[in-house]
Amino acid sequence: MFENKMAAQEQLSEIQKIERINQQTFVLTLFAPQIAAAAQPGQFVQASCQKLLRRPIGIMSADRI
């Protein structure tokens, strides 16, 4: 059975790097230590910026510092 150990939280993050993989796919590297501490590959975060609606972004990896 799957158990969700990550409570919903909101954190302001900084984009550190943007890599274009192909015409439709990008890899964003964000600085978000509180989220990275609990994140697992395959989970999703909701990203929003200014007036745009939130978008689900899949987590590929998380470095813990």
HSE of 24, CA atoms in CB hemisphere, 13 A? 0
Domain ranges of the chain: 14-58
Which DSSP category does 35 fall into? H
Rounded Cα gap, residues 56 and 27, in angstroms: 14
Question: What tokens does 1 get?
Answer: 């059975």
Rounded Cα gap, residues 33 and 38, in angstroms: 9
* Longest CA span, the chain: 37
State the pLDDT at residue 16. 93
Q: Quick: pLDDT tens for 19-43.
A: 999 999 999 999 998 888 888 999 9
State the pLDDT at residue 6. 59
